[in-house]
Structures are given as C-alpha cells and as structure tokens.
Amino acid sequence: MHDERMTTTQSEPLASPPTPRLGVVFAPTWPPERLRSLATTAEAAGLDELWVWEDCFKESGVASAAAALAWTERIHVGIGLMPVPLRNVGIAAMEIATLARMFPGRFSAGIGHGVQVWMGQVGGRVDSPLTLLTEHTEALRRLLTGEKVTVSGRYVHLEDVQLDWPPDPRPALYLGGSGPRTLELAGRLGDGVLLTTALTDDEVRWACETALGVEPDGRWTPPGMVRDVLATQIAATGPGAQARVDAEATLWGKSAGAGIGVAGDADEIARSVQRLVASGATAVAIQPTADEPDLEGFVEFLGREVRPLLQG
C-alpha cells in the first residue's frame, strides 16, 4: 500500500479525538496458513477489525478475506487493498458484492493503484494510474448500488453491466494511496481512506489533512464523502521489541529510529494509537513484525490489554 512518496508538514494540534477502532493486520510477511489462527484469536480477544493485504506476488486479498470471514462470526474484515490494474471492474464488483451479501455488515474493500513496478511485471501498468483509479472507483460504486452501467472511459469500458445480486447495504469502499493527488481523490470518492504503512505521526497528520481537509481551528471539513481513515502502526512488545520494530521499518524502505512504529508495553502502544487518532485517523490496525515470536499471544495482548486503554 505504498506506491508514491510524500513530504510532511507540521500543523497545530487538532480537536480531541474520538475513541478509535483497534484492529490487526495480517501482512503477507506471514504465510497464508497462519491466517486462521490469527483471525480467530483476534475475534476472541475483542479486536474490532482484521485487515488482509494483497501485495504482489504474495497472497490474495479476496481469498484471505473470504476465509477469515468464514472462520469468524463478529470481527469486521477488510481488504487493504486490491490493485485496480489487476482486476476488471466487473469482476471486482462481483467479488465485493458476493462477500458483502454472504457476510452482511462485516466486510469492507479497499482499492488503489498498486505498486507500479509490480503492475508492470504483469503487464497492467498504465500511463495514468490516477485516471484508471478514478474511472474504476466511479464505475465500481455504481455497480455495487445495483445500477446498470455503461461507460466508455480511457481505461474502463462497460456496456449495460448490472449485478444480479448487488449488496444491500453497499459495503464501505476504501481508497488507498500516499501521494497528494491520490489522497485528495480518496477524500473525494472514497467512503474511507487507507493510509500506507510505516508512517510517522507527522506523516499521518499530513495525509489526513490532504485527504480530508482541515480548518485552522482544527475542525475537519471533508471535501467529499470520506468518513473514515485507517492508519497502520507497526508494533512489538516484550524482549527485543525495539530491535524488531526497527528491522520491520527497514522492510518498508524506512530508517530505524525515524519515528516509525512503537515498541513497549500496553500503555506505550495505546498512547501511540491515541497520537494517530489525534492526527486524524479514526481506526488503527496494528501490524505485528515479521519476526514476532508469538503471533497469537501478541494479538491477545492487543485485545485484552491495549484495547481497554482506548475506551472512553
């Protein structure tokens, strides 16, 4: 979920944040067979959300989300994100609608550019990723509301396409990205914004302000339909936690000690979540490190010890 570079700016503190939703990321640094245990543990521990990824050429977001939903009963499952160059918009609508109808109220989908180098490897890279994402998003939203859609865009072409089984209600559609134009598009067309991983607090603030807009007095003034922002926080606890967080940051092209991620006890991690919420996020998904020695134990720790500290 990191296909553009960004610069950061400082700004004044925002208004008091609401209580955030707390979730966990199943990153594709873990093999697919670990998902079932993580999903059921996250639900039992009381976490709000589970987010699965679709990074090339690792794991399928749709297959992972379907399995996680089937293995659980309550927890909300989201895909962050499906690269639009890999999917015809009609296929994407069918997949999203099917999951939304089978698991009503428990599924959200995220879409985005994808990493352009990867898109080139599969022959899907386009001259204007922003145009493709705009056309795909607009058509996808219409299909998911049950419309019969005919469009002839630069990249998206549909002729009298209509879902037989549109979801009701339509699930939230998130847009992900990191550059200013993509964030502005997400704020205008998305129900929510997926922020890229491995960001500092200031980078989260900048991304939220770019996507949502903010007045000088700290009041949010969303320019479009967006109402939700998901931030990801790399985290670890226990012996060697800081070393593991630093190593994880380097996997995402960031330097150790640059303010990426958090290492510490429940209080430390809860405070980091609250800082992200103060910067504009409405939900935070904790990303365990790839070398986490006790994945299920860490997920239980998040639900049993960190989440209660965020209530109220």
Read off the pLDDT of residues 303-312 as tens digits, 9 standing for 90 and up: 999 999 998 6
Residue 18: which pLDDT band, with cuts at 50, 70 and 90?
A: low
CA 288 vs CA 38, 46, 129, 179, 185: distances in Å: 11, 17, 30, 25, 29
Question: Does a structural domain hold residue 279?
Answer: yes
Residue 13 has pLDDT above 90, yes or no: no
Question: Does a structural domain hold residue 15?
Answer: no
CB 261 within 8 A of CB 232: no
Q: How many angstroms separate the first and last alpha carbons of the chain?
A: 31
Question: Does a structural domain hold residue 4?
Answer: no
CA atoms within 13 A on the CB side of 9: 8
Rounded-to-integer distance, Cα 210 and Cα 219, Å: 14
Name the domain count of the chain: 1
Instruction: Report the pLDDT value the prediction gives residue 2, as an integer from 0 to 100.
Output: 40
Question: Does a structural domain hold residue 110?
Answer: yes
Range of the domain at 177: 21-310
Strands (E), the chain: 21-26, 49-52, 76-83, 107-112, 149-152, 157-161, 173-177, 192-195, 228-236, 262-263, 283-288
Q: What would the pLDDT profile of 137-173 be if each residue is shown by its tens digit? A: 999 999 999 999 999 999 999 999 999 999 999 999 9
Residue 5: which pLDDT band, with cuts at 50, 70 and 90?
A: very low
State the CATH number of the domain containing residue 62. Answer: 3.20.20.30
Higher-pLDDT residue of 257, 141:
141
Largest alpha-carbon pair distance within the chain? 59
Question: Does a structural domain hold residue 130?
Answer: yes
CB neighbour list of residue 29: distance below 8 Å, 6 or more residues apart: 251, 290
Question: Does a structural domain hold residue 8?
Answer: no
Question: Does a structural domain hold residue 71?
Answer: yes
Q: What would the pLDDT profile of 184-218 be if each residue is shown by its tens digit? A: 999 999 999 999 999 999 999 999 999 987 554 55
Question: Does a structural domain hold residue 108?
Answer: yes
Instruction: Report the pLDDT value the prediction gives residue 256, as an integer from 0 to 100.
Output: 85
The mean pLDDT value for 210-237 works out to: 73
